[in-house]
A and B are shown apart, each in its own frame.
Chain A
């Protein structure tokens, strides 16, 4: 079975404490590991405000998982996430290279206005 690289953005309830959130994530990591998938890396994004209300909540904890999986794993994984009440929303997207994607995200987290400043400088408006 060939595995592909995926990036998963999970938005969980802000009522959860950091420990509870970690427990929830580890639960899903085990589920993926059981099906011969693999969570290679992860990256927290902290508590953020949502652009619109999701399940009557205005804030959420963002967490990004980088994993190797195939179609079957993604199918069962997304099904379980849908049942979970603590997970407000999730977003799964295929990526080429995990290490590159993570490095880019870390750079963005460190300096979120880098690209937009570069653009406004060149245009001059």
Chain B
């Protein structure tokens, strides 16, 4: 019988802190679009908490403010299809086409 493999000790990722708390911003108003624009993608989606790294409290504040701003037509619900640039085409596929 083989011995059970020992799991290597995981290196802990450095602790992240809430950006909004660091800046000392507590209240977020739906009319303050400039700050809300930092937390949406280019298509207009809300960036999730695992990526934005906000605390639970400030994430809910941001999401409610974004949803309110959408109702007042300050932010868009969606920007639909965002056309990609030609440079985004991966070189591997073009090479494959040439070889054929």
Q: Are A and B genuine complex partners?
A: yes
Q: What residues make up the interface of A, taking CB atoms closer than 8 Å to B?
A: 9, 11, 50-52, 54, 60, 89, 91, 93, 104-105, 108, 112-113, 115-116, 118-123
Q: Report B59 CB to chain A, min CB distance, Å.
A: 14
Q: How far is the CA of A118 from the CA of B27 in the complex (A)?
A: 14
Known: A116-B35, A116-B38. A60 touches B73 (CB 8 A): yes
Q: A104-B27, A105-B31, A122-B19 are in contact. List 15 more A-B contacts (CB 8 A).
A: A51-B74, A51-B75, A52-B76, A52-B77, A54-B73, A89-B73, A112-B33, A112-B34, A115-B32, A116-B38, A118-B23, A118-B25, A119-B20, A119-B23, A121-B23
Q: Report A52 CB to chain B, min CB distance, Å.
A: 5
Does B2 belong to the interface (CB within 8 Å)? no
Q: Report B71 CB to chain A, min CB distance, Å.
A: 5
Does B47 belong to the interface (CB within 8 Å)? no
Q: How far is the CA of A54 from the CA of B73 in the complex (A)?
A: 8
User: Please, which residue of chain B has its CB at the minimum distance from the CB of A113?
Assistant: B34
Known: A116-B38, A122-B19, A122-B22. A108 touches B29 (CB 8 A): yes
A50: contacting residue among B37, B68, B73, CB under 8 A:
B73
- Number of B residues whose C-beta is below 8 Å from A? 24
Enumerate B6-33 residues with CB–CB distance to A below 8 Å: 19-20, 22-25, 27, 29, 31-33
Some 10 contacts from A to B, beta carbons below 8 A apart, are A51-B70, A51-B74, A51-B75, A52-B73, A52-B76, A93-B68, A105-B31, A112-B32, A113-B34, A116-B32
Q: Report A12 CB to chain B, min CB distance, Å.
A: 12
Q: Report A92 CB to chain B, min CB distance, Å.
A: 10
Contacts of A120 in B (CB 8 A): 38
**Binary per-residue interface labels of chain B (63-100) against chain A in the complex, 1 for a CB within 8 Å, 0 otherwise:** 00000101111111100000000000000000000000
Which of B20, B29, B31, B74: most chain A CB closer than 10 A? B31
User: Please, which residue of chain A has its CB at the minimum distance from the CB of B28?
Assistant: A115
